[in-house]
Amino acid sequence: MKNAFYLFTLALLFITPQKEQVWTADIDQIRQAARMIPGRAPLRVNVLKFAESRRAKKFSVKGAPDEPSVQARTVFQVVYADGYVMVDSGMDQQVHNFFGRGVVEPYDPDSAKQVERAVRGARAIIMTHEHGDHVAGVIHTPLANELASKTVLTSDQVQTLLKNPQMPEIRLTPEMAGRYNVVDYERYLPFGPGVVLIKAPGHTPGSQMIYVVLGSGREYLLIGDTAWHMDGVRNVKGKDAPWIQEDENTLIAQLSWLNGLYKTEKNLFIIASHDDEQRLDLIKRGILGNKLE
């Protein structure tokens, strides 16, 4: 990973101006971008659940039954031979309490400590989007100054955190924002060997998907909160949660693209951050590791 995180020059090759059209992406271009930065490809991808929310499935997938469902709060770790990248950063108990809306929900302090140790040891930290359960671990923490120098935020994520954060705890000041590595790109950004950022606003202005291909050839697409449950991808159905504001048209375009990949790309695993059923299944099948290294 010596040359893993050069965020200049190569990115320019994939800055293609887009007209004001429905969102789309090209998996072949993404695969090409994943080969642009030289170095050894990642070895594996790990996941850790540190908290959960209890929500009826009908909120996660429009038209789904009014039945109990667990939303896992997770982070991911892309492991190389000589280090690792963290995808999302967890949150502390105070930020977790915001999501319960007055209801006490499970939070595992030991797992949260594992997340804290992992982000401190990471070569780099990237975010699927700028909501508290994903970014608070590098903002609402005594370690913020230490972690900022290796945290990469997009300019859209920073603008939300400056002007319209989900909660006061994750608001950035201009001085704070200046400590993070801020990038901007139009479509795809090669980030390291086998890793590509894919611009995907919709759930939030700064949402992005993370493509990962291992040395073995296995592929992952970490889609953050584009869907809260994989049934949203399988059925091309958005959320029905009145407490969030999303760009529905853009999200449906993203879900349609993901649905096409889900049906045709059998070696590519599309992973929704909060789908606890999927998390358990992929761990059982050895697709995801169940610990942070």
**pTM score of the predicted model:** 0.93
- Percentage of the chain modeled with pLDDT above 70: 93
User: Average pLDDT of 43-64?
Assistant: 97
CA distance 92 to 83: 25
pLDDT tier, 8 (very low <50, low <70, confident <90, very high otherwise): very low
State the chain's mean pLDDT as an integer: 94
Give the pLDDT confidence score for residue 20 in this predicted structure: 58
**Nearest Cα residue to 69 out of 57, 77, 60:** 57
What is the average pLDDT across 151-165? 98
Nearest of 77, 75, 93, 94 to residue 85 by alpha carbon:
77
May I ask the CATH class of domain 10-284?
alpha beta
* Structure confidence at residue 1 (pLDDT): 53
pLDDT of 44 above 70 = yes
Task: Give tens-digit pLDDT for 77-94.
Answer: 999 999 999 999 999 999
Strands 151-154 and 124-126, sheet pairing: parallel
Tell me how far apart the terminal alpha carbons of the chain are, to the nearest angstrom: 16
